[in-house]
Amino acid sequence: MRVMRIVIVRRSRVPTLWGRNAILILVPILSIALGILACMLIFYVAGVSPWIFLNEVSAGFTSPQMVRYFFLLTALGTALAIAFRASIWNIGAEGQMILGMIGAGFIGLFVASKTIYVKPGELSIYENMPSAVVIDRSPVNPVVSILNMDPLLGQILMILVGSFFGALWALIPAFLRAYFGINEAASTLIMNYVAYHLYNHMISTIFRGLSVQAKQFFRTDILHEDLRFQPIPGYTVTYEEVVLATLFFLAGVVLLGYTSAGLRLKVMGSNPHLLRVIGINERKYILLVLLLSGFVSGAVGASIFAGITYKLETIKTVVSPPTMNLGYTAVLVVLLSLLDLRLVPVFAWIVASLFQAGVLLEIEIKRLGILWLTGASIQYLLIGTVLMIFVLTRILAEYEVRVVR
Amino acid sequence: MEILVALLGVAPALTYLYMASLGNTVVERSGILNLAIDGAFAFGSSIAYAYLVQLLNPVYSAVATMLTIAALGLLIAVATTWLPLSHGAVGLSLMLILYGLASYIGYPAALSERGSKIPAYTNDLVVNIALLATVALLALAINYIIYRTKLGATIRAVGEDPNAASILGISVLRTRILASLIGYSLIGLGSALYIFLDIRTWQEGSGVGVGWIAMSISLAGGRHPLASVLVALVFSYIIQYRYVLIGYLGVYGITVYAFNALQYVIAIVSMIIFSATPLKRIFAQPKALGKPFFREERSV
């Protein structure tokens, strides 16, 4: 008797749907569904009933907070899609965002405004001054934040300097890849850790604020109210984030679809030999692609500072940084979109909903008294399982599993 | 004499860093791009602590961690060899899952009351000498296996050109499974020792990032068991003596965070030194590293 064997063979015929590989269309949807199921199981073991789990997941899709993640992930997805199309695996959006936060923090807290100690008796003068905000009413050393420039100019500067810092940060691994051939997936990832600790170092030294809480908790002072990004009423997303994400996305579509540079980037991803043969400097494009990717990530970092946190606080554990691991989440968005930038918003919406579901789930789980399921574990498990199932099922588009004798 | 005393001081850090980097060396020599290493180390640290809380015996817990992480290696070897999958994608998605599982497993253990029953451990002279001896023996043993045995030759062959190796009758899958089992056992043991000898407790984020340091050591050491010992020594000095160094450098505004960042900066610098010098040619990376090996089934 011959033994049965499972073999994986290349498909001779590919089922099509609307002229495309049908399985390729189904795979992302299937992996999201299976990923949710797998997580449901993991949480069920931890004592969270599937009903609560599914309830929170569906709530994630309609929650107004989800909209912010949608725009942030669309921007980050654009940044990463450009890089991934050129086969440059930028896993360092986290670090680039952190540098964006540092850049925006420097402008917001020290250039566009400044914080000063005042005498307790002078507080009433500053309270009536239009450009001043009292940020610490300590009876000994009150602290006041004073605007140095037009708030709109300050906001623009924050975004620009944040983007610039992010771009510079991304240029380091770009340079290492272009001139020394160092794998950028590993170097961008390691650079994230450099960024986290550098951020902590800066905040606990030169960026440390004047207010009592800032001194006590190793953080900066709070950003002047006029410099903060304004949320759209009813949502948490800010006007600035909507504008930035839309601009970046459109610019990305134009770059990849309608410019010669975009074409070369795509060729670099699919056939780098051709690029070398026709005499194009590959190094230049490696630098360009990471520069753009870091620029956008830096802007997202700036908007996290000016739109969510308003202050920079030391990171206690590297698994839950202020960037909320969105840099890794965006990798999932781009891979699910099959590196097609036009699909990024669709999957940014789905993943943003799951991300928000994770946030809601954490609150619900805390309410149930399960203290040991933390936000980090919920997010990593959700992103990781969907990604893993996607990676595994993705091969079904080209291969099939057969049982032979 | 002073150098010897200092060497004893860094023995714990040297041991866990070197073991994990040696694990990476064996795995990558067989052609598997090992991007799951940091996830494996973080997960290993958490499950080592969880085992310790349950078993209350460091030796049993270390063995259990080794077996668990070796099973993970088996999974990676099979997925990247038997299926036409990207090593990078498998490694990174696994890394995220493992970060999540590390918190999932570690927290209940950290909150458990049994934590107080863990036997006290003092870092004494005998232990440190034993650790240094282990490092030396491991370095020689793995070096012997890689360069002097048939298994080592097949591992290197599979890492350089799996197709040619396969035609010559070597089972690529079996070789990579063996390499991953050895490599991931070492990574698992390293992560257990990291918990037992160095930080002695678990909190969220423990072990995250250490895997990358180990990978950098292996890369900067040219994936050579003996050369990596020297690189591992440099890193263990930085890690062990950062608090001492801060005593001197603190007045210049250097914080512990700056030292934490420094480890990773040195990791990157060591990669640059490796890539920009003739070392790159002498210790060339396996040619098939990270390339999916998938033999089409032609008989059906």
Are B83 and A187 in contact (CB < 8 Å)?
no
Assign B120 to helix, strand or coil: coil
Residue B297 has pLDDT above 60, yes or no: no
The interface predicted TM-score of the complex, written ipTM, equals 0.91
Buried b (16+ CB within 10 A) or exposed e, B274-283: bbeeebeeee
Cβ contacts of residue A49 below 8 Å, gap of 6+? none
How far A201 CA lies from chain B's nearest CA (Å)?
5
The token duo for A56 is 């929170």
pLDDT at residue A231, as a whole number:
95
pLDDT at residue A18, as a whole number:
78
**β A399-404/A5-10 pair status:** antiparallel
Query: Which DSSP symbol is given to A20?
Result: E
- Enumerate the residues of chain B whose CB falls inside 8 A of the CB of residue A384: 93-100
Residue of A nearest to B219 (CA): A182
B53, B99, B283, B296: which to substitute to probe chain A, counting the most A Cβ within 10 Å?
Answer: B99
% of chain A beyond a pLDDT of 90: 68
What is the number of other CB atoms lying within 10 angstroms of the CB of residue A5?
11
Are A204 and B255 in contact (CB < 8 Å)?
yes
Facing residue for B209 by CB, picked from A200, A318, A372:
A318
Query: Which DSSP symbol is given to B143?
Result: H
* C-alpha count within 13 angstroms, C-beta hemisphere, residue B81: 27
CA distances (Å), B287 to each of A400, B146, B161, B163, B169, in order?
29, 16, 7, 12, 19
How confident is the model over B223-261, as pLDDT tens digits? 999 999 999 999 998 888 877 888 887 778 788 898 889
How confident is the model over B147-182, as pLDDT tens digits? 999 999 999 999 999 999 999 999 999 999 999 999
How confident is the model over B76-88, as pLDDT tens digits? 999 999 888 889 8
Are B83 and A392 in contact (CB < 8 Å)?
yes
- Enumerate the residues of chain A whose CB falls inside 8 A of the CB of residue B269: none
Are B107 and A190 in contact (CB < 8 Å)?
no
How far A294 CA lies from chain B's nearest CA (Å)?
19
B268, B285, B298: which to substitute to probe chain A, counting the most A Cβ within 10 Å?
Answer: B268
Cβ contacts of residue B238 below 8 Å, gap of 6+? B259, B262, B263, B266
Facing residue for A180 by CB, picked from B94, B267, B272:
B272
How confident is the model over B102-144, as pLDDT tens digits? 999 999 899 888 888 888 777 788 889 999 999 999 999 999 9
The per-residue pLDDT of chain A, averaged, comes to: 92
How far B57 CA lies from chain A's nearest CA (Å)?
24
Averaged pLDDT, A58-85: 96
H/E stretch holding A39 reads: helix A22-45
Residue B298 has pLDDT above 70, yes or no: no
Residue A34 has pLDDT above 60, yes or no: yes
CA distance A340 to A334: 8
Facing residue for B268 by CB, picked from A190, A204, A377:
A190
Are B103 and A383 in contact (CB < 8 Å)?
no
* C-alpha count within 13 angstroms, C-beta hemisphere, residue A264: 17
Residue of A nearest to B82 (CA): A8
- Enumerate the residues of chain B whose CB falls inside 8 A of the CB of residue A378: 100
- Enumerate the residues of chain A whose CB falls inside 8 A of the CB of residue B90: 388, 391
pLDDT at residue A2, as a whole number:
67
How confident is the model over A272-331, as pLDDT tens digits? 889 889 889 999 999 999 999 999 999 999 999 999 999 999 998 888 899 999 999 999
Nearest 5°: phi and psi at B149? -115, 165
B255, B265, B300: which to substitute to probe chain A, counting the most A Cβ within 10 Å?
Answer: B255
The per-residue pLDDT of chain B, averaged, comes to: 91
CA distance B112 to B109: 5
% of chain B beyond a pLDDT of 90: 65
Facing residue for A194 by CB, picked from B88, B92, B264:
B264
Query: Which DSSP symbol is given to B117?
Result: G
Residue of A nearest to B275 (CA): A180
CA distance B186 to B26: 9
- Enumerate the residues of chain A whose CB falls inside 8 A of the CB of residue B235: none
User: Which DSSP string corresponds to B181-217?
Assistant: HHHHHHHHHHHHHIIIIII-S--TTTTTTHHHHHHHH
Residue A186 has pLDDT above 50, yes or no: yes
Facing residue for A190 by CB, picked from B108, B267, B300:
B267
Buried b (16+ CB within 10 A) or exposed e, B129-149: eebbebbeebbeebbebbeee
Q: Are B208 and B40 in contact (CB under 8 A)?
A: no
Q: Are B14 and B139 in contact (CB under 8 A)?
A: no
Are A377 and B84 in contact (CB < 8 Å)?
no
Residue A371 has pLDDT above 80, yes or no: no
Three-state SS for A169-238 is HHHHHHHHHHHHCCCHHHHHHHHHHHHHHHHHHHHHCCCCCCCHHHHHHCECCCCCHHHCCCECCCCCCE
Are A377 and B267 in contact (CB < 8 Å)?
no
How confident is the model over A158-178, as pLDDT tens digits? 999 999 999 999 999 999 999
Residue B95 has pLDDT above 70, yes or no: yes
With cut-offs at 50, 70 and 90, classify the pLDDT of residue B296.
low
> Could you give the angle at which helices A50-62 and A66-85 cross, rounded to 10 degrees?
80
Question: Residue for token digits 């440059």?
Answer: A88
What are the helix and strand counts (H, E) for chain A? 15, 7
pLDDT at residue B300, as a whole number:
45
Residue of A173 and A18 predicted with greater confidence: A173
Residue A192 has pLDDT above 60, yes or no: yes
Assign B286 to helix, strand or coil: coil
pLDDT at residue A5, as a whole number:
79
pLDDT at residue B259, as a whole number:
86
How far A202 CA lies from chain B's nearest CA (Å)?
9
* This prediction's pTM: 0.92
Averaged pLDDT, A86-96: 95
Q: How far is CA B171 from the centre of its chain?
A: 25
Mean pLDDT highest for which of A11-15, A68-72, A179-183, B84-88?
A68-72
Over its C-alpha atoms, chain B yields an Rg (Å, rounded) of 19
Are B261 and A186 in contact (CB < 8 Å)?
no
